[in-house]
Structure 1
Amino acid sequence: MRDPLILLTGAALAAALLSGCAGAEPDAPASPPVTPTPTYELPPRPVRPGESPVRSAPVADGDTRFQVIGLQKGLSGFFGSHAEWQAKGQYVVVRILVENPGRTNARFDAKRQKLIASDGSTYAIDKFAQAIKRQPDELPLGAQVRVELDLWYDIPKEAEVSAIRLFGDPPLGVTGGTEGVQVPLP
């Protein structure tokens, strides 16, 4: 059996140490209350005719943040401000938010963004559809700038869309491109 004096001393020491950690000293200043970061109150907008809303989490590639917010599939053609254009297969339109959360300029290049079909085939934007619908091919993104735009693709009629691979601008000082980030599409 152990010496009761040793056990009692050990218990008293443990109690003293634990009570010393239990609270702040009465004269210590209280830490300031944590206040939540304010957010913008943006009103919800209706989804455009023929478009399905996409609820995807924001993703980042390089110095660019993306969020897919809308999708249209199976369009046979469309009217622009000055032309009517028919698809060779079907048009697929992906609406995205593009954001530069950094402190320096970034560049968005619509021509790098790839639509992915369920069989693994990839498709580049349709330059004529982008031009007729007056969507940018390239766009400078200033620091803290956020832009919403459409990406128009003309893919085979029988192709099933599965994802989009989004490419951002590499961080300042990095040469070459980024690897892109894939976002599943419904």
Structure 2
Amino acid sequence: MRLTLPATVLALLALACATGCGSGGPAAYPEPRQTVREHERALPGKNVRIGELTYTALALTTGVIAVAGSHADVMAKGRYVRVRLQIVNTGRDRHDVDPYKQRLVTTAGAVVAPSFDAMNTTRAPIPPVTLARDEVRAFDLWFDAPADAKVKALRVLGDASSSRLSEQLKAGRTGTADLPLTG
């Protein structure tokens, strides 16, 4: 069977379209959907960037009176607050994050450190959490806040270093940012 010139052109166009025509840009991974856990509230997915790391507060749980693990049960002095945090490394270098240096900020302005007891009981990551190039990590941060406290933000302290020379030359990078936990 012999193809005519118009048929050959159409066949080549069909082949080209089958291998990427109309993709509209670079391919992307589908968002892995996670089921919201019992008593947890999904957050709107606002994020902040510090250096080459992007931080997103995924979910919030408030009013927890105790944490139970396979090896311990711990009562809160006030009420536990759990924040599900996702971190993405968009740089070429490894970056370290210390979960215990993150802070919960209340609407009254109080700043609360993570609860070592709750973090240990729930087997939270042990610092430093190292993120490799293009790595995504998510984990829970537990805070023992005053019982009547309303949460406002998660103050993240991250690695402000960058593998980009232009960012290395910028002055005034603080390495901290507030992620809103409302809305």
Same fold (TM over 0.5): yes
Match of 2:100, SS?
helix
1:102 is matched with which residue? Answer: 91
Q: Which amino acid aligns with 1:156?
A: P
Shift of 1:166: 1.0
Q: Deviations over 1:103-135 (max 9, x none)?
A: 001001111111001111101101111111011
Q: TM-score, normalised by structure 1?
A: 0.76
2:156 is matched with which residue? Answer: 166
| Cα gap change, 1:172 to 1:38, in 2 (>3 Å) | closer
2:69 is matched with which residue? Answer: 80
Question: Does the CA contact (< 8 Å) of 1:51 and 1:72 recur in 2?
Answer: yes
Gaps of 5+ in 1: 1-31
Shift of 1:33: 7.9
Q: Which amino acid aligns with 1:115?
A: L
Q: Which amino acid aligns with 1:141?
A: L
Q: Deviations over 1:61-117 (max 9, x none)?
A: 123111111000010002112111100000000001011110001001111111001
Partner residue of 1:145 out of 130, 135, 140: 135
Q: Which amino acid aligns with 1:120?
A: G
2:78 is matched with which residue? Answer: 89
Question: Does the CA contact (< 8 Å) of 1:71 and 1:94 recur in 2?
Answer: yes
1:23 is matched with which residue? Answer: none
Matched, 1:66 2:47: no
Gaps of 5+ in 2: 1-20
Match of 1:128, SS?
helix
Q: Which amino acid aligns with 1:178?
A: T
Question: Does the CA contact (< 8 Å) of 2:90 and 2:134 recur in 1?
Answer: yes
2:180 is matched with which residue? Answer: 184
2:7 is matched with which residue? Answer: none
Match of 1:130, SS?
helix
Separation in 1, partners of 2:68, 2:95: 32
Shift of 1:43: 4.4
Larger Rg: 1
CA RMSD of aligned residues (A): 2.1
Corresponding residue pairs, total:
154
Query: Superposed, which structure 2 residues align to 1:50-61 within 5 Å?
Result: 50-61=39-50
Shift of 1:179: 3.6
Match of 2:120, SS?
helix
Separation in 1, partners of 2:114, 2:133: 26
1:134 is matched with which residue? Answer: 123
